[in-house]
Amino acid sequence: MIVSPRIILCIILVTGFVLSAGCTSLPSAGGAATATRTPAQTEVTTVTLPVASPGDTPVPATTTGPLPAGTTPSLAPSVTATWIPKSSGESAADDPQIILLQFAKGYFNADIPDCGMRMAFPQVANDTGYGIVEPHTTLTAFSADEMILFLKANAREYASDPRDVDPAITNYIDPNTLGGAQCTGVPASPTWNFVRIDATIMPRNGRPADYDIGISVRSKGKVTAQLKMNRTLTIDQPVTYELYVPLKTIEMDRFDSTEMVFYKKA
């Protein structure tokens, strides 16, 4: 039996069509997973901050006011508070102009042994969670007046009050004898020093207003801590800050940079 070429061609076309239709209807073995994208979430971070000192005097949050001679500085009670956000929109236009913002790590010319630090600044040195540590950073700042009182309380010789805290701390005290007999023979490590932060801002708000002011600290590129203050700002009346942040010397390299944020209260 001779089959017509035309019939053979039809059979080939029909067979190809059936096979093609069958392939497209077959599910793939272990079909590919469908990727779903979860919207990124913003982590709200809280940090232990000292109670802010209200009023017109530019006092850092940890300042407790003048201390009697012969005593060491003390910290204000701490509370958990949210960080100060950056101003936005029209409020940002009223933010103060930052005239100066700089810092010096390892400010004093000699490190302070741990035992002496525990005697002089127990609220900081005895806090196991203090410092630039993961996952939460806790930092505290002292004012220049408090640092002068610390020097006077532990000085071998202190003829007069300096106009500024002298980084040559050994001109006033021997860090190795700080803490007295209780620290004799005690290992010095870990040792401590201070980061000095200087800031000057020029208010630009038309009417006097209360501002939350934050000095944010970056470590490894991330903002990990914030020193919180508040102040009533008046246009063209500059405000200066001189703050001293104690830090273990092994953590000094983690202190990368600082920035200021402002939030005008309603």
Does 190 sit behind a cis peptide bond, omega within 30 degrees of 0 on the bond before it?
A: yes
> Is 149 in contact with 142 (CB distance < 8 Å)?
no
> CA angle, corner 94, sides to 88 and 96, nearest 5?
105
Q: At residue 88, does pLDDT exceed 90? A: no
Query: What pLDDT was estimated at residue 7?
Result: 52
Residue 23 in tokens? 């392939």
What is the average per-residue pLDDT within 193-215? 95
Half-sphere exposure of 155 (CA within 13 A, CB side): 20
Q: Which residue has the higher pLDDT, 49 or 146?
A: 146
Residue from 226, 183, 232, 171 nearest 203 by CA: 232
Q: Calculate the average pLDDT of the chain.
A: 74
Statement: the pTM of the whole predicted model exceeds 0.85: no
Q: Is 230 exposed, middle or buried (0-12, 13-18, 19+ CB in 10 A)?
A: buried
Q: How far apart are CA 3 and CA 81, in angstroms?
A: 92
Q: At residue 44, does pLDDT exceed 90? A: no
Torsion, Cα of 194, 147, 67, 192 (10° steps): 30
Q: Which of 35-44, 74-83, 93-102, 253-262 has the lowest mean pLDDT?
A: 35-44
Residue 37 in tokens? 């994208």
Question: Percent of the chain, pLDDT > 70?
Answer: 65
pLDDT band at residue 158 using 50, 70 and 90 as cut-offs: low
> Is 131 in contact with 138 (CB distance < 8 Å)?
yes
